[in-house]
Amino acid sequence: MEESDVKKPVKALLIGGSAGSLQVLFHLLPLLNKTLPFAIIVVLHRRHSADSSLSELLSTKTALRTHEVDDKDVILPGHIYLAPADYHLLIEKGETFSLDYSEKVNFSRPSIDVTFESAAEVYGSSLAALLLSGANEDGTKGLLAVKKTGGITLVQNPETAQMPYMPNYALAHAVIDHVCDIAQMAHFINTLH
């Protein structure tokens, strides 16, 4: 991975994933620095209202403060935010979250596209977005939006993904800056600022 073009100031890192992405996070989160100067916003597909303790589980893997988002929460650097089950997660101009219980997008709520597109509008080029393992097409439109407003796009190397369909679909339809395995993701995130 090149070092030169990753040194942009970033206000938020988006991570989207579906089937097979939880294991990636379990390996990735312990590799992250204890302090990071930007927020990490995680959108995972999960079963309706099940595993509401997911944020607690993720918090055992990292020193960064981890929360499942409540409506109108303020977005702070150095925190990890998880989209709640069964709501779309949107980002408002004042860097607060809002939630939305509208129709599923890509058969998913939360939808990765919805959060990524909304973040791209607010953060523009101060944004990085990473798409992980999964078995559907969610996330690709979101990466397109991030790229269009000048953000950085990354996908998990499909060869390392339990479900390569999602990263492969993104690689085929969007401009992706970096394709990475878990160690490369960690290096990328730790050197972002």
From 28, 91, 128, 192, residue interacting with other proteins (rule: CB under 8 A): 91
- Which of 78, 109, 75, 80 lies closest to 92 in space, CA to CA? 75
101 touches other proteins by CB under 8 A: yes
Taking residues 146 to 175 in sequence order and writing x for each that binds other proteins by CB under 8 A, - otherwise, the string is: ------------------------------
47 touches other proteins by CB under 8 A: no
Cα–Cα–Cα angle for 111, 114, 116, rounded to 5 degrees: 105
Give the interface segment with other proteins, choosing from 10-18, 114-122, 131-139, 160-168 (CB under 8 A): 114-122
99 touches other proteins by CB under 8 A: yes
- Compare residues 91 and 185 and give the one whose CB is closer to other proteins: 91
- Spatial distance between the Cα atoms of 127 and 106, rounded to a whole number of angstroms: 23
Cα–Cα–Cα angle for 127, 129, 130, rounded to 5 degrees: 155
- Compare residues 102 and 191 and give the one whose CB is closer to other proteins: 102
- Which of 40, 10, 36, 37 lies closest to 126 in space, CA to CA? 10
Type and span of the H or E element at 56: helix 54-59
List residues binding other proteins (CB under 8 A).
49, 69-72, 84, 87-88, 90-93, 98-103, 114, 117-118, 121-122
